[in-house]
Structure 1
Amino acid sequence: MTDRADRLRELATDLREHEAVADAWLAKSFTDRLLVLDLAEGTSVPDEIRALLNEHDCYGANEVYETGAADASFAGAVGDETRHQFVDVQTRGDHQSYVVE
């Protein structure tokens, strides 16, 4: 595991302590590392959390991927929670996904 992954795992652990955050973890898309947040029902990403993520070079996936979505990080509803995804731009494109034929 890299130092970067360790730092982001620590950040996710810290974010779980925030009142608005139901869960936080690292995930991987095809080539990018994502920090995923599930927020309590009716909660949007607090400004202080978004600023903290930006300080760690994690930006809303919709913004990074230029999807045109109104919310920079919203990924959908999961039960009573809302999911938000943030791309680790420090390592963007460094990860590999494999296709098995």
Structure 2
Amino acid sequence: MDRTAELRRLATDLREHDAVEDAWLAKSFTDRLLVVDLRTGSVPAEIRERLEEHDCYGANDVYETGEADASFAGSVGDETRHQFVDVQTRGDHQSYVVE
């Protein structure tokens, strides 16, 4: 199975969890991210385990930001946003700046 399709399927499955408001794939400059908006403040253990089974880890940990929460990226309305890096393809993506 294609990695993008696998992660899209994971995002779709995560949306079925009661704690999840939304989940989708995004891209940073060089990495693929799985973004999860939660109705609760912290990531439930079963969601974190599911993400780790697919080699997706909290962006704060992967990028060694020093943040206490491994994945917290901010609040969006009443939800909290969490970002997870696809470490299987980390660094494989390229972004270009057009001048």
Question: What TM bracket, shorter-length normalisation?
Answer: over 0.9
Partner of 2:97: 99
Residue-pair matches, total: 99
Partner AA of 1:66 in structure 2? E
Aligned residue number for residue 4 of structure 1: 3
What is the match of residue 43 of structure 1? 41
Per the TM alignment, residue 71 of structure 1 is displaced from its structure 2 partner at its CA by: 0.2
Within a 5 Å distance, the mapping from 1:49-64 to structure 2 comes to 49-64=47-62
For the 8 Å contact 1:20–1:43, the answer to whether it is kept is: no
Cα distance in 2 for residues equivalent to 1:68 and 1:43: 19
The Cα of 1:43 is off from its aligned counterpart by: 3.3
Following superposition, the deviation at residue 44 of structure 1 comes to 1.2
Alpha carbons 1:31, 1:96 under 8 Å: kept? yes
CA distance in 2, matches of 1:24, 1:6: 14
Unaligned runs of 5+ in 1: none
Say what the alpha-carbon RMSD is for the aligned residues.
1.0
Is the 1:59–1:89 Cα contact (8 Å) retained in structure 2? yes
> Does residue 19 of the first structure (1) align with residue 35 of the second (2)?
no
**TM-score normalised by L of structure 2:** 0.97
For residues 39 and 48 of structure 1, what CA distance do their matches in structure 2 show?
A: 13
Point out where structure 2 has 5 or more consecutive residues left out of the alignment: none
For 1:69 and 1:43, how far apart are their aligned partners in 2? 15
Offset at residue 75 of structure 1 (A) = 0.1
Cα distance in 2 for residues equivalent to 1:24 and 1:79: 15
Deviation track 1:34-60 (CA, whole Å, cap 9, x = no partner) reads 0000000x4310001101100100000
Q: Is the 8 A contact 1:36 1:83 kept in 2?
A: yes
Q: CA deviation at 1:26?
A: 0.2
